[in-house]
Amino acid sequence: MPSALFAPLPLRAVTLPNRIVMAPMCQYSAEPSGPQVGVPTDWHVQHYGSRAVGRPGLVLVEATAVSPEGRISPYDLGLWNAAQVSGHRRLTALMRQQGVVPGVQLAHAGRKASTGRPSDGGGALAPEEGLGWQVLAPSALPFADGSPLPEALPPERIGEVVAQFAAAARRAVEAGYEAVEVHAAHGYLLHEFLSPLSNHRTDSYGGSFEGRARLVLEVVDAVRGAVGDDVPVLTRLSATDWAEPEGWTADDTVRLSGLLREHGVDVVHVSTGGNVPDATIPVGPGYQVPFAARVRREAGVTTAAVGLVRDPQHAEQLVAEGEADLVALGRELLLDPYWPVRAARELGADWSLPPQYDRAELLARRDERTASSATTA
């Protein structure tokens, strides 16, 4: 029987060659200031080039800020100017050469912005330190003890954020990206608007579910308008704050996912958490898959499941049994850039490394046959 994981998936004018997605993972490796701020570097070229050689169906480039103040750290990628567009073209060209669909995640970090790199110890960067800036949020509520106090976005500035997402989406297409993901998860700005734990507004962008979801839908509409009808739009959601019933819930996610489908979103990429610093999360293999399965079933939208899916047989089962349409891998692809090729071998699918590596591929298959013959002899 053909592998479900390696079946193509049409999305508008794009067809993914398989159902494996490289999830966005920040590298914190861009220049923090100067003319090359936010521009992909040689590190990004080798990092994404290596994963493209492994040939997942879709590579989603890490959270890429729609504005300088939307960066998580000063070392994030951006798409708010022309120099950044040129840098991103290096990445998209590499991916297309390997038959991989290049995608990018557009993001605004909100109250979790202006932090140091994890390798430098993280922590908030104060504006007076030079690299930090004033952070923004739906309400003047810090993320955690010791986090900076954000400025509550006034209504007239919310429109600026929508316009920044739209402009970044246009630049993404100009840079060669064939899919765009709107980041509305993990406690960043759009998720902050969704959750009643971080959104205490009393205007039309707060209060009810409809008010809290308003900004996400406006951003999605603006991005869809910016990229046109042929480009797939994904939205990443945190299905729960892991703080029910006070926080954002799985029921809310199903309801929002149906609206996103109506507003032109093609895939809902289902994650969890990130908005509550002390949340208790039952982490384990596939721990977020049930949320993706419910969104797919109840909202009638194509979904990507993510969350410690490491075993090819597990990934195959998720797609074959209709738990998700796509399987996104994060840390596993950091450890093994060629995971899709290993999965293809295990599942008997016709998927291989580029021809430059044919010799290694042929030797590996010969060794497998030899080992099999020795076992059965």
Q: CA 7 to CA 20: how far, in whole Å?
A: 10
Tokens of 99: 């038959």
CA angle, corner 14, sides to 252 and 95, nearest 5? 100
> For residues 234 and 325, is the Cβ–Cβ distance under 8 A?
no
Q: Dihedrals φ, ψ of 102, to 5°?
A: -85, 130
Tell me the torsion sign for CA atoms 35, 36, 37, 39.
Answer: positive
> For residues 343 and 315, is the Cβ–Cβ distance under 8 A?
yes
Beta partners for residue 234, in sequence order: 181, 267
> For residues 340 and 54, is the Cβ–Cβ distance under 8 A?
yes
Residue 363 is given by DSSP the state H
Q: CA 132 to CA 195: how far, in whole Å?
A: 26
Which of 28, 177, 188, 205 is catalytic? The answer is: 188
Tokens of 150: 């954000």
Please confirm, yes or no, whether 188 is among the known catalytic residues: yes
Closest alpha carbon to 292 in 280, 302, 284:
302
Tokens of 86: 């040129």
Beta partners for residue 180, in sequence order: 104, 233
Extended beta strands in 12-83, E state: 14-16, 20-22, 58-65, 77-78
Widest distance between CA atoms in the chain: 76
Closest alpha carbon to 191 in 229, 148, 242:
242
Residue 61: strand, helix, or coil: strand
**H helix count then E strand count, the chain:** 11, 13
Q: Give me the active site residues, please.
A: 188
